[in-house]
């Protein structure tokens, strides 16, 4: 029995549904090349870019947890031009998602103007949810500002654009954000970014584990899975069908990816597990998902996407 893992975001066709989560294995040229050449990832997402390169927050800024991770990287990246050059000039063998994260609305608009004026034809993703930049709130928790920003963006931006959302925790907030997003021709939403401003304690040292922000950081990995599934499901139930969903959060196995698709994900991205296991995670998780689909008699993702049953 053959199983087809191909998927689409708007008109962009991916040979399989798996992506790296932005920030994982996608900052340097070497990492991007390795991702580009990996046979088992369907596409490539770049590290969120700021106008100029950044070192990011002081170290230590990533810590593995028993069932996930905490990070406060602080947007280390090579600068917007580096990533724009990479996705427009390199030997591109798979679809790309160019992630951007300006430090202000003005910077975001400026980066989007540059993309609009460039020859880049791939997908762009505006990160409205980085939890770790000191003094900068997560924009997508401010509904009025997000709406105003999208209004200004779509007045000039005509290429495929998605946004990266933070997790929401209240059904009223899902209603509010979906009502805003449904007014715009978004290619996709990517949900969820890490669960912002968590804390881990090293009991032996009686200390936090990260240097920046007094130890507060974004939580990812297996412990984020239930929150991620809820966000994919709740947004799929509310967003226009034309807005695709990239499910991100807590995927460590084919089973977790299957659950994301059941909740409505078109694509699935892998963060903490990719960092911990390396690129081999793509092949393993691909194979696990294929085995589950074969056992259930599913040929394609459409056979079960969004078909989560209620009790």
The contact mask relative to ligand RRO for 72-101 (x = CB under 6 A, - = no) is xxxx-------------------------x
Q: Is 23 in the site for ligand RRO (CB under 6 A)?
A: yes
In terms of Cβ atoms closer than 10 Å to its own Cβ (0-12, 13-18, 19+), residue 27 is: buried
In this structure, what is the dihedral angle of CA atoms 183, 184, 189, 191, given to the nearest 10 degrees?
-40
**Closest distance between ligand RRO and the C-beta of residue 218, in Å?**
3
From the CA atom positions of the chain, what is the Rg in Å? 18
**Which residues are CB-neighbours of 20 under 8 A, at least 6 positions away?**
26, 35, 41, 44, 45, 269, 270, 271, 274
Can 26 be counted among the known catalytic residues? no
The contact mask relative to ligand RRO for 30-69 (x = CB under 6 A, - = no) is ------------------x---------------------
Q: How many residues interact with ligand RRO (rule CB under 6 A)?
A: 16
Candidate list 12, 20, 71, 146; residue touching ligand RRO; CB under 6 A:
71
DSSP of 213-236:
GGG-EEEESGGGHHHHHHHHHHHH
Q: Is 250 in the site for ligand RRO (CB under 6 A)?
A: no
For residue 203, what is the enclosing H or E element?
none
62 vs 184, which CB is nearer to ligand RRO? 62
Q: Tell me the C-alpha distance between 151 and 164, whole Å.
A: 17
Q: Is 190 in the site for ligand RRO (CB under 6 A)?
A: no
Residues 10 and 188: beta-carbon distance below 8 Å: yes
Residue 306: other Cβ atoms inside 10 A: 18
Write down the residue that tokens 């103007």 correspond to.
Answer: 113
Residue 154: other Cβ atoms inside 10 A: 15
The contact mask relative to ligand RRO for 191-230 (x = CB under 6 A, - = no) is --xx-----------------------x------------
**Closest distance between ligand RRO and the C-beta of residue 86, in Å?**
17
**Closest distance between ligand RRO and the C-beta of residue 272, in Å?**
10
Q: Is 127 in the site for ligand RRO (CB under 6 A)?
A: yes
**Closest distance between ligand RRO and the C-beta of residue 29, in Å?**
18
Part in contact with ligand RRO (CB under 6 A); list of ranges 127-135, 148-156, 247-255, 286-294: 127-135
Q: Is 130 in the site for ligand RRO (CB under 6 A)?
A: yes
DSSP 8-state assignment for residue 75: -
**Closest distance between ligand RRO and the C-beta of residue 21, in Å?**
8
Nearest to 305 by CA among 253, 254, 236: 236
Q: Which two tokens stand for residue 148?
A: 């105003």
Q: Is 248 in the site for ligand RRO (CB under 6 A)?
A: no
DSSP 8-state assignment for residue 301: G
208 vs 289, which CB is nearer to ligand RRO? 208
As a whole number of Å, the end-to-end CA separation of the chain is 31
Which of these is catalytic: 70, 100, 111, 130?
A: 130
Q: Is 20 in the site for ligand RRO (CB under 6 A)?
A: no
71 vs 187, which CB is nearer to ligand RRO? 71
Which sequence positions are flagged as catalytic?
Answer: 130
Which residues sit at the interface with ligand RRO, rule CB under 6 A?
Answer: 23, 48, 71-75, 101, 127, 129-132, 193-194, 218
């Amino acid at each position: 029995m053959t199983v087809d893992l191909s998927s689409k975001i708007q008109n962009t066709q991916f040979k399989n549904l798996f992506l790296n989560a932005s920030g994982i294995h996608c900052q340097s040229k070497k990492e991007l090349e390795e991702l580009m050449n990996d046979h088992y990832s369907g596409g490539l997402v770049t590290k969120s870019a700021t106008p100029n390169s950044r070192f990011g927050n002081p170290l230590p800024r990533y810590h593995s947890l028993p069932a996930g991770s905490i990070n406060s990287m602080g947007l280390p990246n090579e600068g917007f031009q580096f990533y724009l050059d990479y996705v427009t000039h390199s030997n591109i063998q798979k679809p790309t998602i160019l992630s951007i994260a300006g430090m202000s609305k003005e910077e975001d608009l400026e980066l989007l103007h540059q993309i609009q004026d460039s020859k880049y034809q791939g997908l762009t993703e505006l990160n409205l949810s980085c939890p770790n930049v000191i003094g900068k709130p997560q924009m997508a928790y401010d509904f009025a500002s997000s709406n105003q920003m999208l209004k200004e963006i779509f007045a000039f931006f005509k290429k495929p654009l998605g946004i990266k959302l933070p997790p929401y925790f209240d059904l009223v907030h899902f209603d509010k954000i979906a009502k805003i997003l449904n007014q715009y021709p978004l290619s996709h939403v990517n949900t969820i970014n890490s669960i912002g401003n968590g804390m881990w304690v090293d009991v032996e040292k009686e200390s936090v584990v990260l240097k920046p922000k007094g130890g507060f950081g974004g939580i990812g990995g297996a412990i984020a899975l239930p929150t991620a599934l809820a966000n994919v499901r709740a947004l799929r139930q509310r967003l226009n069908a034309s807005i695709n969903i990239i499910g991100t959060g807590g995927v460590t196995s084919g089973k977790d990816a299957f659950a994301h698709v059941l909740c409505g994900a078109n694509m699935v991205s892998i963060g903490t597990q990719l960092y911990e296991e390396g690129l081999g995670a793509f092949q393993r998780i691909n194979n696990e998902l294929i085995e589950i689909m074969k056992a259930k008699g599913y040929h394609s993702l459409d056979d079960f996407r969004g078909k989560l049953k209620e009790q």
